[in-house]
Amino acid sequence: MEDVTDTVFRQIIAKCGKPDVFFTEFTNVEGMCSRGKDKVGKRLIFTTSERPIVAQLWGIDPEKFEQTAKKVLDMGFDGIDINMGCPEKSVVKKGSCAALINNQPLAKEIIAAVKAGAPGLPISIKTRIGVKEIQTEKWAKFLLEQNLDVLTVHGRTAEEMSDCPVHWEEIEKVVKIKQDMKVKTLIIANGDVKSRKEAEEKCQQYGLDGVMIGRGIFENLWVFNKKTDQTQIPYQEKLKLLREHITLFDKTWGKTKNFSIMKKFYKIYLSGVPNVKDVRVEIMKLKTAKETLKFLESLGA
C-alpha cells in the first residue's frame, strides 16, 4: 500500500468508516536512522482521528529497529508492526521483509530489538506463508514462540505475489497451531477480502481474530462502515469527497510530494459518474490540485 495509506487517506477513511485499527505505510528503519530521517519520517505522521494506529516498520538491522522503535514509542503510536511479508523483489533481495521467512535467527533478533526499544507497546508481525514454497507450519510455529501480540498472515508465498487464489487452508493451519501451542497471540488474515461481510464470514469460518483489508479499499471507501452501503451513495457525494481528499493532500504535502500520487485514487471516486471514461481521460491529464479542483467543480462537485 505504498503511497496509499498516508495520513491524508487515513483521515478520509476515518470519515467514511474507521477500521478497528489503522496501519501506516511501511517505513524503513535504516532510513529513520539516517540523514534523510525527516523525509522518511513523514510516513509516520498521524492525527488523533486515525487512532488506534500502528507504525509499520521494515529493514534488516536490529540496532536500527531498536532505535526506531524508541522513536515510535515517543511519537505516541498504539503499536508496532514488523513487516516480514512484503514480496517486492528489491526489498527481498536485501534480505528484509519476506526474505526473513528464511532467516529465523535475524527475525528473532529484530523482534527482540523492537521489544527492547518499545517496552510495553503491542508488537505484531505481518508475513506470508513462505518465500518460494509453502512453509506455514515451520514459520508460524517459530513466530508464535516469540510472544507476539498479533500475527497477520497473508495466505500466499512471496513468489506468488497476488497472482493466485489465497490459500485459506494454510491460514487455518496457523489458527490450529496457535490453539495447539496455547498462546494468546491474535491471528489476523489478509488476502483479497473486499467487504466487511466477507471479513466477518472468514473470521467465523476459520476461527480468526480479525481480517486485514488492504487493496479492497480501492473498490469501496466505506468497506469498514457497518451501516453505509456505498452503492447507495450518489456520485456527487463521492466527487465532493474527492475534492476534500485533494484539498487535504495539497494542504498536508504541498510540493513535498508529487501530486500525481493522487491519480491512483481517482477510480475509487469516479464510479457512477456520467461519461466516466471521458472524465477519467480528462482528469488524468491534470497536473495540479488547483486545476483538478476546478475540473471537479465543473462536474458539479
Catalytic residues: 86
> For the chain, how many residues are written?
301
- b vs e for 26-37, b when ≥16 Cβ sit within 10 Å of the residue's Cβ? bbbbbbbbeeee
Cell of 118: 518499545
